[in-house]
Amino acid sequence: MRQSAESIRGRFLKLGIDVPIEDIESRLEELVTNFKVPSNEAQRSVTNYFLKKYSIPKNEFYVRQAEPQLTKIADISENGQWANLKAKVIQLWENIHESISQVGLLGDETGIVKFTGWKNAELPKLEQGESYLFRSLVVGEYNGRFQVQLNRNSSVEKLAEVIDVIGGDFTPIARESDLRNISNLVGGQWATVKGKVIQLWENSHESIEQAGLLGDPTGVIKFTNWASSEIPYMEEGKSYVLKNVFVNEWGGKSQIQLSRSSSVEELDEDITVGTSNLTYFGAMVDIQTGSGLIKRCPECKRALVKGACAEHGKVKGEYDLRIKAVLDSGTSTQDILINRELTEELVGISLDSAIAMAADALDPGVVLDKLKHELLGRYYTVSGHKFDRYILANSITPSTSLNRELIEEMFAELEVD
Amino acid sequence: MAGFYREVARRVFSQELKDSNLASRDESDQYAPQYVLTPTGAKVNRIFLVGTLIEKEDIGTDSEYWRGRISDPTGSFLVYAGQYQPEASQFLADCELPAFVAVVGKTSTYTTDDGNVLTSIRPESIQQVNELTRDLWVLDTAKQTLERIRAVEVEEDPNSKLAKEHYFTDTDFYRAMVKKALESLKESKY
């Protein structure tokens, strides 16, 4: 008990405060003996009590006290752990969230780890290629991977020395990532992909240059080309090789990001997209919720749910028109997605008139009702690319005539009997 | 969503559905879907049909409960819609007869005291459609029924085998039914 009290007293002495040892000891005594508090908990509680009493900010106290040894990246092993690192900023990524100041990769001779610098940490900007001493980083775990975060209690000091990074001079430009098939891409890796731009999405956010779908013979994947990547605009229908793109996962699906470290070259060949132009014939048996007049997040184009975006929270949405429908052939079913242009063509209403209808009725549901009324129960042939469980319709055509040949064939068979 | 799959809407003529009396359900799971196995081996939970709505009646006592009779070239289907099918009830209440309608719905069976099995349809959606859609459905259903008849004749899969064992399916009878349905297309404008 005496020893614990001495150590607490010592720590306060360093801050120039002489706390009477008897006070410390009696408080510890009371907690441990009378209230059965474990000794380490009691020490913490007593320390906090005196911090409060002398109006010392907790952060200051603990940061000064805790000068744990330097950790190597490979030794990061515990969620919630605090760490001090000497590391080199090997890469800065595009930062997509306003509360984040910087995000990227740190490396030392033992490994590489993702870091996130929060804006409210108010730390100076890190430069790619420079080495720093990072104090009081917090280790977090996401999707089974460790990452470190710079928060308000962290500090950063630029080093003159250059920290060696595992695997030599790891810079993504110097090292080209492996060529991979789209169907093999998984989150958290760098890759080079050859594919055809099969769809470009409308995009209004200034930090995004382009977003859309890229396909190769094995599949289709969403891509985002950040404006700061300075990669020239890609055209729909053309094939490209996309070097050093980062693959991440969102909502269980992989997508690729083009950033400053990526590069794109147009290809002469025309890459065939797997499942390209799948055609399906059936009756429309369902139009699902989320069809009709919807609002999308202006930043990421996701459909809003109750006025909020899963990623960006409450936003002022932009109107769009789309249909999520189920076609049924009698032996199988197929989910299809019909975009605004095709919806307008198919149903004969424009987005503006849909908005007017909804405003008139004070209910966007009237648009959905109209779609159901016009489309359900009818036969259609749809063609488009398969993506996930959907066919993204390039065209949708209502059946307008009976297949006379089929009728004759069947009659022929039935007459024989 | 793992393991979830949408029940396919089967194409069956009313005559064949009326002849069906083999209901099945996985007894170990109270949420398992109920199926009706038809004489040509269609395992029906969801059904898609297009026909002519020829009768409708509110048979409810306290609240509205609509019964509609929808004819096809071989007979007629009965659909029932109450408070839990508000859109379908509304449609039946408002609709003028006769009208071509397309129905997506779930089949359910009811065994009467004297052992007869009645199959009715609870609509998920009813829409008024045109004659073209009706003709397309007759052709579609004729084609799929004929395919099932062929499968029963050679006992191609477990369903056709089971159907044959249970119903001693007279495939000539159902071939005649398909032919009758196709004949109704002879005059078709499309």
Write out pLDDT tens, residues A304-317.
Answer: 888 888 888 888 88
Residue with tokens 């991440």: A248
Say which CATH number the domain at B156 has: 2.40.50.140
The residue of A253, A284, A285, A369 whose CB has the most chain B CBs within 10 angstroms, and thus the best one to mutate to test that interface, is: A285
Question: Residue A63: what pLDDT?
Answer: 59
pLDDT at site B111 = 84
Residue B188 lies in a domain: no
CA-closest candidate to residue A133, choices A172, A179, A99, A89: A89
Q: Phi then psi for A362, rounded to 5 degrees?
A: 55, 30
Per the omega criterion (within 30 degrees of 0), is the bond before B98 cis? yes
How confident is the model at residue B2, as a pLDDT? 41
Distance CA A61, CA A49 (A): 13
Residues 87-126 of B with CB under 8 A from A: 101-104, 124-125
Q: What is the mean pLDDT of residues B135-155?
A: 95
- Inform me whether the C-beta atom of residue B134 falls under 8 Å from chain A C-beta atoms: no
A313 in contact with B at a CB cutoff of 8 Å? Answer: no
User: If you average pLDDT over every residue of chain B, what do you get?
Assistant: 91
Chain B, 46 to 65: residues with Cβ < 8 Å from chain A are: 46, 48, 50
* CA distance linking residue A34 with residue A30, whole number of Å: 5
Does residue A253 sit at the B interface (CB-CB below 8 Å)? Answer: no
d(CA B159, CA B152) in angstroms, rounded, equals 8
Q: Distance, in angstroms, between B8 CA and closest chain A CA? A: 6
Question: What is the total residue count of chain B?
Answer: 190
Q: Give the pLDDT confidence score for residue A174 in this predicted structure.
A: 42
Flag whether B2 is in a domain: no
Q: Mutate which of B106, B132, B159 to test chain A, going by most A C-beta atoms within 10 A?
A: B132
* pLDDT, mean of residues B53-70: 91
- Per the domain annotation, does B58 fall within a domain? yes
Q: Is A144 left (phi over 0), alpha (psi -120 to 50) or beta?
A: left
Tell me whether residue B3 is in a domain: no
Give the side-chain half-sphere CA count within 13 A for A209. Answer: 17
The pTM of the full predicted model, rounded to 2 decimals, is 0.62
pLDDT of the residue at A239: 92
Could you give the number of structural domains in chain B? 1
Residue at B32 is within a domain: yes
Q: Would you say residue B57 lies in a domain?
A: yes
Q: Which residues 7-46 of A are in CB contact (within 8 Å) with B? A: none
pLDDT for A101 equals 87
pLDDT at A173 (0 to 100): 42
**pLDDT recorded at residue A171:** 47
User: What residues make up the domain containing B16?
Assistant: 9-183
Residue A155, H or E segment: strand A155-158
Could you give the CA distance from residue B61 to residue B185 in angstroms, rounded to a whole number? Answer: 40
CA A347 to chain centre: 35
Which residues of chain A, if any, have pLDDT below 70? 60, 62-68, 167-176, 203-204, 251-252, 275-276, 416-417
What is the rounded distance in angstroms from the CA atom of residue A141 to the CA atom of residue B121? Answer: 52
Q: Give all domains of chain A, ordered by start, each with its CATH number.
A: 2-65 (no CATH), 70-158 (2.40.50.140), 179-266 (2.40.50.140), 278-398 (2.40.50.140)
SS3 A228: helix
Contacts of B178 in chain A (CB under 8 A): 410, 414
**Smallest Cα distance from B50 to chain A, Å:** 8
In a 13 Å sphere around the CA of B49, the CA atoms on its Cβ side amount to 31
**B116 inside domain:** yes
Tokens of A42: 């009691």
